[in-house]
């Protein structure tokens, strides 16, 4: 016999561990006791405040919790603080429904890993899954139930600062990375005590704002939306993501937060999503600024009708939903559906069984910044580094040499952990100077100079440069650490000039004039236009913002203790005039021809990027055989084996990422000139060869035809293989339907 519901509620500060009934029964019984006001309260999320002295919450928000008008708190973390907040909800409200705590655990919680764009350059799905798992492990131990990650927005415009938070420009690779990160955050079943709920964001096409300006409008064809921008969201949802966040932007004039086609028809009916939808911060309120709602009441109506379940921070649902229901402008059944989804998430987290199960200070102590986190932070950081250039094999460095370590990032700890660094303590980050000094093990000599400030400061530039030049003249090699400060990328950090700041470029020019060989170590959150740097530096090492173990990881690569194997997941332009630039462009009726003016090209620059998608050098060399196909005709039900033999033809052992692309030569709509369809990471000893293969099926060849049907069409296809999207071997076959 099932005991009355009240026996399962929490009446003291100590959790009652009696089992609750099965989910559907429990939630049905609970909702039957809820007033409309209490139901709407579950649809509201408010923010805690973060200060130097710790977390706090406004008094009026505390009162709202007591009144049952809050279902979730964001930016609350720490086992002690979340326990205090949870105690308010389960001891001072009528129905004692626990809160759910959400936080932006983007690339680590307290142990910080590389920014997602950097980590994606590892092309190591298991490693990325592990990063998410370890981040979840720390966050869950500190009272966090839910992360607002992964961000899976495809981005092809480096002016957009939030490109730092995603996996780059390719929808196929972005989908695989989205799946890996969801698995890492959530595990197999939502609710494990060492995992958190994932939130796929920002739905949808947030990474394609016009002019690369954050929060700006998005306008594209339905085919482009479905083929390029939607796949990573769908992949994350298929991987089991528990929640989805709406994007700030509109798509073709309809803001995502008010887009019923997007949130209900596509997400729930077509993709069968069962979790709940949360808005981004005050996105419901912003429907007024979008010009689709006349006032807050209409904004509320549009959002709830579209399919929003939980409102982040705006406070409009409590204010307006009761009146909208009374006026028959909203159906009460919509509210019940939203509340059930939110309560189901709390049930799956085990919060009705024990609301404090994620808020245990003793459990947190041995988990946070533990040895396994530090070891992984170093490993994933060095695997995320991309060697862009290495003229005359300047790298790896010789430990016995005299190194001039110069630049504003030499002793920098704050910027190396990047933006969206959660609860990370930058004072615990390893600087480049510390990493290099530890790695040289007392050999050789290191001289250091700041050389420049992060951004121009009047009166200091000449003196800093002169000091740096003097020290460089007495060194064998210059290691020059330049880049963007972390605040130049991320949210609300769009830039029209995606370059190293001018005062830092002045330092580069002065050092280049000394004639000393220069190893440029870049710190940045986006692709940069590196025309000057490529001309003046002998070697360029892209390190992104690598996190807590940054200095050690970079030193591992610079001294050759680790042979770099990172590959770009986003294209680097020659200059800003090429933007947006990406590898999967479509054909044009007048393709580039250097001998003909009236073809698609620039008068003042090449069409080609400086560094293409998939690019990344090694301290060894890899050669590719011709591409072999198991058949020259592919029919429905068959698979085509595509293989290539890769040889390590250099003098060191190393790892290569073998990339496979396709091109549909003739179709009813113009197709991209290349599309990634598979890759394999292989480790080869010097002189070793290995065959690498993948199976191509009809599913790999599908696209949206003129009738917007997801299908294949018969005809000729190219298959290409190589170490980047530019330098490829190819073969062809015929698809016969």
Residues sharing a CB contact under 8 Å with residue 64, sequence separation 6 or more, in sequence order: 41, 44, 46, 70
Q: Is 215 exposed, middle or buried (0-12, 13-18, 19+ CB in 10 A)?
A: middle
Q: Cα(113)–Cα(128) distance, rounded to whole angstroms? A: 10
Using only C-alpha atoms, the chain has a radius of gyration, in whole angstroms, of 27
Which is it for strands 54-56 and 49-51: parallel, antiparallel or unpaired?
antiparallel
Cis bond before residue 204 (omega within 30° of 0): yes
Q: Cα(463)–Cα(676) distance, rounded to whole angstroms? A: 49
**CA atoms within 13 A of residue 82's CA, in its CB half-sphere:** 31
Q: Cα(698)–Cα(639) distance, rounded to whole angstroms? A: 8
Q: Where are the beta strands (DSSP E) in 20-141?
A: 44-47, 49-51, 54-56, 72-74, 100-103
* DSSP 8-state class, residue 3: P
Q: Cα(406)–Cα(480) distance, rounded to whole angstroms? A: 5
Q: Where are the beta strands (DSSP E) in 325-434?
A: 386-390, 402-406
Q: Cα(309)–Cα(331) distance, rounded to whole angstroms? A: 14
Cis bond before residue 42 (omega within 30° of 0): no
Phi, psi of 464 (to 5 degrees): -65, -40
Q: Where are the beta strands (DSSP E) in 407-563?
A: 445-449, 477-483, 518-523, 539-542
The catalytic residue among 124, 157, 280, 700 is: 280
Checking phi first, is residue 187 left (phi over 0); if not, alpha (psi -120 to 50) or beta? left
Residues sharing a CB contact under 8 Å with residue 427, sequence separation 6 or more, in sequence order: 413
Which of 730, 22, 695 is CA-nearest to residue 353?
Answer: 22
Q: How many residues does the chain have?
A: 737
The reply to whether 280 belongs to the active site is: yes
Phi, psi of 385 (to 5 degrees): -75, 135
Q: Cα(555)–Cα(439) distance, rounded to whole angstroms? A: 6
* 3-state SS assignment for residue 471: helix
Cis bond before residue 565 (omega within 30° of 0): no
Show which residues are catalytic: 280
């Amino acid at each position: 016999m099932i005991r009355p519901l009240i026996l399962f509620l929490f009446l003291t500060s100590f959790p009652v561990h009696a089992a609750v009934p099965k989910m559907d029964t429990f939630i049905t019984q609970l909702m039957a006791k809820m007033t409309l006001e209490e139901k709407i309260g579950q649809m509201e999320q408010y923010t805690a405040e973060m200060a130097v002295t710790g977390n706090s919450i406004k008094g009026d928000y505390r009162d709202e919790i007591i009144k049952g008008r809050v279902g979730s708190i964001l930016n609350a973390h720490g086992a002690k603080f979340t326990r205090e907040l949870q105690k308010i909800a389960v001891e001072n409200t009528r129905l004692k429904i626990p809160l759910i705590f959400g936080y932006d655990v983007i690339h680590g919680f307290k142990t910080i890993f590389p920014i997602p764009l950097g980590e994606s350059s590892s092309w190591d799905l298991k490693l990325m899954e592990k990063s998410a798992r370890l981040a979840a492990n720390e966050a869950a131990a500190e009272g966090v139930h839910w992360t607002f990650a992964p961000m899976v927005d495809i981005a092809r415009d480096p002016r957009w600062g939030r490109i730092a938070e995603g996996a780059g420009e390719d929808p196929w690779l972005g989908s695989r990375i989205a799946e890996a990160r969801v698995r890492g955050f959530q595990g197999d079943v939502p609710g494990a005590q060492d995992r958190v709920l994932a939130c796929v964001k920002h739905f949808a096409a947030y990474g394609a704002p016009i002019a690369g300006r954050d929060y700006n409008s998005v306008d594209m064809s339905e085919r482009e939306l479905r083929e390029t921008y939607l796949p990573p969201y769908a992949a994350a949802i298929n991987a089991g993501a528990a929640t989805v966040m709406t994007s700030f932007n509109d798509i073709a004039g309809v803001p995502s937060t008010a887009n019923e086609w997007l949130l209900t028809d596509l997400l729930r009916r077509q993709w069968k999503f069962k979790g709940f939808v949360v808005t981004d911060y005050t996105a419901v309120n912003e429907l007024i600024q979008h010009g689709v709602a006349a006032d807050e009441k209409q904004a509320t109506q549009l959002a709830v009708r579209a399919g929003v379940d939980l409102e982040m921070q705006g406070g409009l649902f409590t204010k307006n939903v009761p009146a909208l229901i009374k006026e028959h402008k909203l159906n009460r059944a919509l509210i019940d559906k939203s509340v059930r989804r939110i309560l189901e998430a709390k049930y799956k987290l085990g919060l009705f069984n024990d609301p404090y199960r994620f808020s245990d200070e003793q459990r947190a102590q041995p988990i946070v910044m533990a040895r396994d986190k530090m070891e992984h932070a170093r490993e994933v950081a060095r695997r995320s580094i991309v060697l862009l250039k290495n003229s005359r094999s300047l790298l790896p460095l010789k430990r016995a040499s005299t190194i001039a370590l110069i630049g504003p990032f030499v002793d920098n700890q704050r910027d190396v952990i990047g933006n969206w660094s959660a609860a990370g303590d930058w004072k615990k980050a390893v600087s480049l100077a510390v990493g290099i000094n530890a790695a040289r093990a007392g050999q050789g000599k290191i001289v250091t100079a700041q050389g420049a400030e992060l951004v121009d400061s009047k009166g200091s530039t000449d003196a800093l440069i002169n000091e740096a030049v003097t020290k460089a003249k007495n060194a064998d090699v210059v290691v020059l650490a330049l880049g963007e400060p972390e605040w130049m990328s991320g949210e609300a950090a769009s830039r029209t000039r995606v370059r190293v700041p001018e005062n830092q470029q002045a330092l580069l020019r002065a050092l280049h004039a000394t004639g000393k060989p220069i190893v440029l170590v870049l710190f940045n959150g986006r692709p940069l236009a590196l025309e000057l740097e490529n001309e003046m530096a002998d070697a360029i090492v892209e390190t992104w913002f690598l996190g807590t173990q940054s200095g050690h990881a970079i030193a591992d690569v610079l001294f050759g203790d680790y042979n770099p194997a990172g590959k770009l997941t986003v294209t680097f332009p020659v200059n800003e005039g090429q933007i947006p630039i990406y590898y999967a462009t479509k054909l044009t009726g007048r393709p580039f021809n250097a001998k003909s003016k009236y073809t698609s090209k620039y008068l003042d620059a090449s069409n080609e990027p400086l560094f293409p998608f998939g690019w990344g050098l090694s301290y060894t060399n890899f050669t590719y055989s011709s591409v072999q196909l198991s058949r020259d005709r592919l029919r429905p039900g068959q698979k085509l084996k595509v293989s290539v033999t890769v040889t390590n033809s250099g003098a060191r052992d190393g790892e290569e990422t073998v990339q496979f692309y396709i091109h549909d030569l003739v179709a009813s709509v113009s197709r991209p000139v290349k599309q990634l369809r598979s890759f394999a990471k292989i480790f080869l000893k010097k002189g070793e060869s290995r065959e690498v293969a993948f199976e191509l099926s009809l599913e790999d060849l599908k696209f949206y035809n003129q009738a917007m049907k997801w299908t294949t069409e018969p005809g000729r296809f190219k298959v290409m293989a190589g170490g980047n999207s530019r330098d490829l071997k190819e073969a062809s076959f015929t698809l016969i339907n």
